[in-house]
């Protein structure tokens, strides 16, 4: 089971709060109306670009240049992306949308 923050994102169909845990690779399921749900995918690219920008900035400020900067940014990226994803799920959870049947990563 994957569990993030406290469940508080409502189901788009019935408005009930969707349990914030699921099996890896499975969609979320509304406990009230049994709708299969996924977190909204649109906009998730912003986190990725932000993480890249933060990584390069931190590496640059830390004194890395050239190939060193690329290496440092690559390492920092995983930390920055993880922190951003955690922050988003904790403070700005994306709304649920109907499960589109595509593979779920994670
Ligand atoms: Zn529902």
> For the chain, what are the domain ranges?
2-98
Whole-structure pTM over 0.75, yes or no?
Answer: no
Q: Which residues contact 48 (CB under 8 A, 6 or more apart)?
A: 81
Q: Is the pLDDT of residue 75 over 80?
A: yes
CA distances from 26 to 15, 36, 67, 94, 106 (A): 21, 9, 39, 17, 9
The separation between the first and the last C-alpha atoms of the chain, rounded to the nearest angstrom, is 11
In the reported structure, the alpha carbon of residue 14 is separated from the centroid of ligand 1 by a whole-number distance in angstroms of 4
Q: Which residue has the higher pLDDT, 20 or 76?
A: 76
3-class SS at 57?
helix
And the tokens for 67? 């190939």
In the reported structure, the alpha carbon of residue 55 is separated from the centroid of ligand 1 by a whole-number distance in angstroms of 39
The string of pLDDT tens digits covering residues 17-36 is 988 778 778 899 998 999 99
In the reported structure, the alpha carbon of residue 32 is separated from the centroid of ligand 1 by a whole-number distance in angstroms of 5
In the reported structure, the alpha carbon of residue 20 is separated from the centroid of ligand 1 by a whole-number distance in angstroms of 13
In the reported structure, the alpha carbon of residue 11 is separated from the centroid of ligand 1 by a whole-number distance in angstroms of 5
pLDDT of residue 2: 53
Q: Is the pLDDT of residue 5 over 70?
A: no
């Amino acid at each position: 089971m994957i569990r993030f923050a406290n469940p508080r994102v409502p189901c788009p169909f019935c408005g009930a709060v969707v349990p914030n845990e699921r099996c890896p690779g499975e969609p979320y399921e509304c406990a009230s109306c049994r709708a299969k749900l996924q977190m909204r995918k649109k906009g998730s690219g912003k986190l990725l670009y932000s993480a890249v920008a933060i990584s390069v900035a931190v590496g640059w400020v830390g004194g890395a240049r050239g190939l060193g900067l690329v290496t440092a940014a690559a390492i920092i990226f995983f930390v920055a992306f993880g922190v951003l994803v955690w922050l988003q799920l904790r403070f700005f959870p994306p709304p649920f949308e109907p499960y589109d049947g595509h593979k779920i990563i994670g």
